[in-house]
Amino acid sequence: MNRAVLDSIRNAAPGILPSLLQCDFGNLQTEVERLVAAGTEVLHLDVMDGHFVPNLTYGMPIVEGLRRHTDLPLDVHLMISDPLAYAQPMVDAGADLLTFHIEAVDSAEHAARVAHSIREMGVGAGVAINPETSMDTLGDCLDEVDMVLVMSVQAGFGGQSFNPIALDRIRQLRQRYPELLIEIDGGINLETIGRARQAGCDLFVVGSAIFGQDDYSAAIASLGRAMVDEMISDSVATDESGDSR
């Protein structure tokens, strides 16, 4: 495995990962340049197959096209029914971290085998879980993955509200696996990013809160401040509670 790339993703934490699903694909090189200038260290790609989820996005050609324009790590979220069928082609196209859904496999044991196979391809492996799926389904596969992607909305469906169950799951994972990379995706904006960071999240996938703004640098800077402000606010509240005792 290319540990240097995985370490660079770890070192980006707490990191804001633009979800390129909402970028201007007609001007991909310029979009990447704007994101790099704004301080982006990792790019996130959402791959949907129209079967595991009802939407259809893009595949290997976009990953390959991005790789030609940037050396940034590419975090590829596979919302597809058969993750291993496309894992190697995605790696060949330039993916650095592949995340598959626990709902796309038969069991935690199957998930562990998929994660092992992905890591054998020389990239990081992540497992994603939807809000409505029990955490028990992850089982011991967490010992085989580099990252868990906690979905705060149901994968593949638009117009959903942030589900705060994601925060409880992040806290649970952080307590049990202090070294595990934890990522959150869905409804991350100025109101939610600080809460996710306070819960222990490392990586934050952001779509409209960046691409819906004219100035990417300002948008990412505002999100970064929101993370810090929440941590400071929580620290002050803890100190005041301690003083009162």
Ligand-binding annotation for 59, yes or no, is no
Instruction: Give the separation between CA 43 and CA 76, rounded to whole angstroms.
Output: 8
Cβ atoms within 10 A of the Cβ of 233, count? 12
pLDDT of residue 159: 63
pLDDT digits (tens, 9 = 90+) for 184-235: 999 999 999 999 999 999 999 999 999 999 999 999 999 999 998 876 666 5
pLDDT band at 72 (very low <50, low <70, confident <90, very high): very high
Q: Would the pLDDT of 149 be above 60?
A: yes
pLDDT of residue 244: 44
Higher pLDDT among residues 244 and 230, named by residue: 230
Ligand-binding annotation for 101, yes or no, is no
Question: Which of 68, 185, 67 lies closest to 126 in space, CA to CA?
Answer: 185
pLDDT digits (tens, 9 = 90+) for 83-118: 999 999 999 999 999 999 999 999 999 999 999 999
Domain ranges of the chain: 3-244
Find the radius of gyration of the CA atoms of the chain. Answer: 17
Ligand-binding annotation for 208, yes or no, is yes
pLDDT of residue 160: 76
Q: Would the pLDDT of 182 be above 90?
A: yes
The two three-digit tokens of residue 140, written as one number: 């011991």
Q: Percentage of residues in the chain with pLDDT exceeding 70?
A: 92
Q: Which of 38-42, 197-201, 207-211, 238-242 has the lowest mean pLDDT?
A: 238-242
Q: Which of 3-7, 17-21, 49-53 has the lowest mean pLDDT?
A: 3-7
Q: Percentage of residues in the chain with pLDDT exceeding 90?
A: 84
Tokens 């994601």, residue located: 166
Tokens 């990417």, residue located: 216
Ligand-binding annotation for 187, yes or no, is yes
Question: What number of helices (H) and strands (E) belong to the chain?
Answer: 9, 8
pLDDT of residue 2: 66
Instruction: Give the separation between CA 195 and CA 113, rounded to whole angstroms.
Output: 33
Higher pLDDT among residues 159 and 154, named by residue: 154
Q: Would the pLDDT of 239 be above 70?
A: no
The mean pLDDT value for 22-34 works out to 93
State the greatest distance between any 2 C-alpha atoms of the chain, in Å, as a whole number: 60
Ligand-binding annotation for 15, yes or no, is no
CA atoms within 13 A on the CB side of 119: 17
Q: Which of 10-24, 54-68, 120-134, 155-169 has the lowest mean pLDDT?
A: 155-169
CATH 3.90.1420.10 fits 3-244, yes or no: no
Residue positions annotated with a catalytic role? 46, 185
pTM for the full model? 0.92
